[in-house]
Amino acid sequence: MAIPAPFLGEQARAEWLATRFSEIGLQRVETDEAGNVLGWLWAAHLPPESSGPLVVLSAHLDTVFPTETPLNPVVDGNRITAPGACDNCAGVAGMLGLARALVESKVELAAPLIFLGNVGEEGEGDLRGVRQLYSQSALAGRIAAHIVLDGAGADSAVTQALGSRRYRVTVTGPGGHSFTDAGTPNPIAALARALAVMWGTQLPEEPRTTLNLGTISGGTSVNSIPESAEATVEFRSTGTDELLRLEVALHRAVEDAVEQVNAQAKACSGQERGLLEYVIDKIGDRPAAQLPDDSPLLEAIRAVDRHLGLKTELRLGSTDANIPLSLGIPALSMGAGGEGGGAHTLAEWYSARDRETGLKRVLLLTLAMVEWAAKQ
């Protein structure tokens, strides 16, 4: 079965997951306003209406591929090749496997465990599924720990959240004919000036910070003064202050460039009609944060490593864990075992070889955090 799950198009995959949750035997399976699918595993000694701490185990449903992308999965032994096979079908399948194991083993949990298939992790999704959970859900204040399953692997965990901010800059004007309306302010000229200024912005080595000019578009023909021009810009940093500094710099660069082009037009025509205007829309905002060295979640994963003979490498990344980490909630993102590659390409693949080690790692960590949550 191959179900597309693009940005804002995750519904079919969410419906499939809800059915699987119910078949496994999870309780109170529901889909929230954002499109997230939730299934509960109750603590044996607690009534369903209890309001104490709980743990979340999640995997994002969406992929980077548009609906029309041919999926055509190819299975060769324990390896599958298809867009999204690793990121994040591996995480979703791992979550389902763990849910089934816990239900069938009739394990008695010390605190409730929620399985979450969330939407909106990739690209312009801007973590909207997990944002919903923490900003508008009645569960938000109860979450004691959050473990994210994303992709393959059993040797690393993302514990430092890489912050990012993304913007769409749009400059508009009256447009016109390149000859008869010469002197009319040109949106592309203003936008190009602003982007050139941003590209020259000094970036610090620490905290590590990057700037990317992602897309630019505008105009209709070579002999037309365009009516609009648009560009997207992204900043990433491990430090929140740098993201704010670059946001201010972007606004200043665009404002200055538009004023300069407008001033040239007024000097030529003596009129103030038909000048350029601009809008800067924030289209993405992922907070930067880090799991503290003394976090109980780190203590638990080190204990799991000792038990399984593993050594987890702590990494930096931009994942669903950004949101709980920014709120001070113990969280990390980790693989669901196996191997994978080619992420975000049509040649993406996942192999289930030695997946059991990764799933044991996730299971033991989850149960350890459930025990810890029950004592909070």
Parse the chain into domains and list their residue ranges.
11-161+288-374, 163-284
pLDDT of 273 strictly over 70:
no
CB 300 within 8 A of CB 365: yes
Give the model's pLDDT for residue 272. Answer: 63
Q: Which residues contact 22 (CB under 8 A, 6 or more apart)?
A: 29, 39
pLDDT of 49 strictly over 90:
no
**CA 163 and chain centroid, separation:** 11
Residue 26 burial (CB count, 10 A): 24
**Average pLDDT value for the chain:** 96
pLDDT of 1 strictly over 80:
no
Look up tokens 């660069």; give the residue.
253
Structure-token pair, residue 200: 């020259």
Question: Buried b vs exposed e over 49-64: b needs ≥16 C-beta within 10 Å?
Answer: eeeebbbbbbbbbbbb
When pLDDT is averaged across residues 128-140 and rounded to a whole number, the result is: 95
Q: Which residues contact 323 (CB under 8 A, 6 or more apart)?
A: 127, 130, 131, 133, 134, 287
Instruction: Tell me the pLDDT tens digit for each residue of 60-117.
Output: 999 999 999 999 999 999 999 999 999 999 999 999 999 999 999 999 999 999 999 9
Instruction: Tell me the pLDDT tens digit for each residue of 58-73.
Output: 999 999 999 999 999 9
Enter the CATH code of domain 163-284: 3.30.70.360
Burial of 373 (0-12, 13-18, 19+ CB in 10 A): buried
When pLDDT is averaged across residues 32-55 and rounded to a whole number, the result is: 92
Burial of 105 (0-12, 13-18, 19+ CB in 10 A): exposed
Burial of 158 (0-12, 13-18, 19+ CB in 10 A): buried
When pLDDT is averaged across residues 328-333 and rounded to a whole number, the result is: 98
Torsion of CA 98, 99, 101, 107, to 10 degrees: 120
Start-to-end CA distance of the chain, whole Å, equals 42
Give the model's pLDDT for residue 60. Answer: 98
Q: Give the least confident one: 37-41, 45-49, 252-256, 346-350.
A: 45-49
Question: Buried b vs exposed e over 133-155: b needs ≥16 C-beta within 10 Å?
Answer: bbeebebeebbbbbbbbbbbbbe
Is the backbone peptide bond immediately before 78 cis, with ω within 30 degrees of 0? no
Give the model's pLDDT for residue 270. Answer: 64
The CATH homologous superfamily for domain 11-161+288-374 is Zn peptidases (3.40.630.10)
Q: Please report which confidence band the pLDDT of residue 364 belongs to, taking 50, 70 and 90 as the band edges.
A: very high
CB 94 within 8 A of CB 356: no
Question: Buried b vs exposed e over 331-360: b needs ≥16 C-beta within 10 Å?
Answer: bbbbbbbbbbeebeeeebbbbbeebeebbb
* 343: phi then psi, degrees, rounded to nearest 5: -55, 140
pLDDT higher for 46 or 315?
315
* Long-range pairs of 137-140 with CB within 8 A, sequence gap ≥ 24: 137/32, 139/54, 139/114
Give the closest residue to 107 by CA, choosing from 376, 370, 375. Answer: 370
Q: Please report which confidence band the pLDDT of residue 274 belongs to, taking 50, 70 and 90 as the band edges.
A: confident
**CA 88 and chain centroid, separation:** 12
Report CA Rg, the chain. Answer: 24
CA distance 147 to 169: 35
CB 126 within 8 A of CB 120: yes
CA distance 110 to 80: 37
Give the model's pLDDT for residue 271. Answer: 63
What percent of the chain lies above the pLDDT cut of 70? 99
Burial of 166 (0-12, 13-18, 19+ CB in 10 A): buried
pTM of the full predicted structure? Answer: 0.92
Strand 349-351 with 79-81, pairing: antiparallel
Q: Give the least confident one: 44-58, 169-183, 268-282.
A: 268-282
Q: Please report which confidence band the pLDDT of residue 371 belongs to, taking 50, 70 and 90 as the band edges.
A: very high
When pLDDT is averaged across residues 130-148 and rounded to a whole number, the result is: 96
pLDDT of 48 strictly over 90:
no
